[in-house]
Amino acid sequence: MNATAPSIEALANQEYKWGFVTEIEADTIPKGLNEDVIRMISAKKNEPEFMLEWRLKSYRQWLKMEEPQWPNVHYPRIDYQDIIYYSAPATKVGPKSLDEVDPELLRTYEKLGIPLKEQELLAGIAVDIVFDSVSVATTFKAKLAELGIIFCSFSEAVQEHPELIQKYLGSVVPHSDNFFAALNAAVFSDGSFCYVPKGVRCPMELSTYFRINAKDTGQFERTLIIADEGAYVSYLEGCTAPMRDNNQLHAAVVELVALDNAQIKYSTVQNWYPGDKQGKGGIYNFVTKRGKCLGDNSKISWTQVETGSAITWKYPSCILIGDNSVGEFYSVALTNNYQQADTGTKMIHIGKNTRSTIVSKGISAGHGQNTYRGMVKILKSAAGARNYSQCDSLLLGDQCGAHTFPYLEVKNTSSQVEHEASTSKIGEDQIFYCRQRGISSEDAVSMIVHGFCKEVFRELPMEFAVEAQKLLGISLEGSVG
């Protein structure tokens, strides 16, 4: 009965919609990496001496390090001399207001569905935009400043608030933490910075939107968020890139610090270009994200929806130092075609009665390979600590794979850990049942996937949840054979 079934495969041909290139004048340095390049980046940014020293220290450390081989991902060797480490839209000085931003750039963000004119912005979201390596615009700054909240580009923070940078930079992810973090520390060109003062509840979602545009460019941004005592902030991160035949490297670092009674909610919808159906091109996403619950009763939640990138290597983690502090990780990671993801989290319990929750949902389709790697470590000092982990995998088709590597280390007897795992498959019979009720294959898949992910979506801010759901639908079209 061939005429009846528009095979789900045929629907797979949905293109990556964000893959256009912006023609814009750029200030780009030549390919390759050495100390002069690092000095040049630092000089371009007019950085204080301590920053240059930190970068050089990181670079020297990096030279001694090996690219990690343990993740369950496979890719050809990266030639680190074949990458451009700095590319910025060619504006002489940083724009004072949006009117000074290159209109071509504004159009780019309009195409991406992110209006930058403040009056057009979704009420309640302040946005920092990082294009290639630099922050090009931050909205709602003045309004936030009235509350004492600092939300600006990293470069600006280095100039305006060096004392905060000096105090917290590398305090969660040290310059020597791992190969990619060291590389980032050496060459990072910009990113976002946020400080929420004591007792302030940030009244709007803060958001950074990352876009890689230039060819052969690596993107190395750094985000640092500090919630002072009793502060609260919810932060969103989104990202896209043009379609390119070659692979591009993204090696970011995110550091979060929560002091006593503070709370940070960090949400990501990662949609870097995943490569084409044959696995050509796409972003290598090697990211180090870590939060430190430094204060008592503090809380850090990571929520991520990972649909893009050719390779994802990412473990947003929490170090629970303060007593009664809470770490959470909610994740949906999707791999289709030839995408590979090795992602998960680390929860390090140090303080008393610390609690952590891990909910990981891996979806594999096509030839996608999805690995969950999680570590729960409960130190002797963490009396009464508790962890709950749940790892579910959903398979679409029979060429993909799901792998789970939970590591557990408990050093005291008063702690409780619980781990649940499941693997399920979207079957042809389920799709057919839906179709017999009038629901198309794509809608059936997205309905089942949504059902599978809803515990994670529930954690996302409203608009983001809607976007995430749409993205999953698009990323999965045609993936059930």
Q: Residues interacting with another protein, by CB under 8 A?
A: 1-6, 424, 427-430, 432-441, 443, 447-448, 450-452, 454
Residues 440, 447: Cα–Cα separation, whole Å: 10
- Residue with Cβ nearer another protein (229 or 443): 443
Among 158, 149, 154, which residue's Cα sits nearest to residue 128? Answer: 154
Instruction: Tell me how far, at minimum, the Cβ of 121 lies from another protein, in Å.
Output: 29
CA-CA-CA-CA torsion sign (200, 201, 205, 207): positive
- Rounded least distance, CB 434 to another protein, Å: 8
C-alpha–C-alpha distance, residues 302 and 86, integer Å? 29
Any idea which residue has 């209006």 for tokens? 115
- Which residue type is seen at 367? H
Nearest partner of 243 among 217, 213, 273, 285, judged by Cα: 273
Q: CA-to-CA distance for 209 and 121, rounded, in angstroms?
A: 13
Q: What is the rounded (10 degree) CA torsion for 97, 102, 107, 112?
A: -70
Closest CB to another protein among residues 184, 370:
370
Q: Which is nearer to another protein, 287 or 444 (CB)?
A: 444
Of 166 and 430, nearer to another protein (C-beta) is 430
Which has the closest alpha carbon to 372: 467, 285, 306, 274?
306
CB-nearer residue toward another protein: 56 or 439: 439
Distance in Å, CB of 359 to another protein, minimum: 13
Q: How far is the CB of 441 from another protein (least distance, A)?
A: 8
Residue 194 to residue 188: CA distance in whole angstroms: 17
Name the residue nearer to another protein (CB basis): 92 or 437: 437
To another protein, the closest distance from the beta carbon of 458 in angstroms equals: 13
CB 452 to another protein: min, Å: 5
- 7 and 431 in contact (C-beta within 8 Å)? no
Question: Minimum CB separation from another protein for residue 429, in Å?
Answer: 5
Residue 79 buriedness (CB in 10 A; 0-12 / 13-18 / 19+): exposed
Query: Element (H or E) spanning 393, and its range?
Result: strand 386-396
CB of 454 to another protein, least distance (A): 7
**CB closer to another protein out of 229 and 455:** 455
Count Cα neighbours of 276 within 13 Å in the Cβ-side half-sphere: 7
Between residues 121 and 447, which has the closer beta carbon with respect to another protein? 447
Integer CA distances (angstroms), 306 to 88, 221, 226, in order? 26, 18, 24
Q: Can you tell me the distance from the alpha carbon of 214 to that of 455, in angstroms, rounded to the nearest whole number?
A: 37
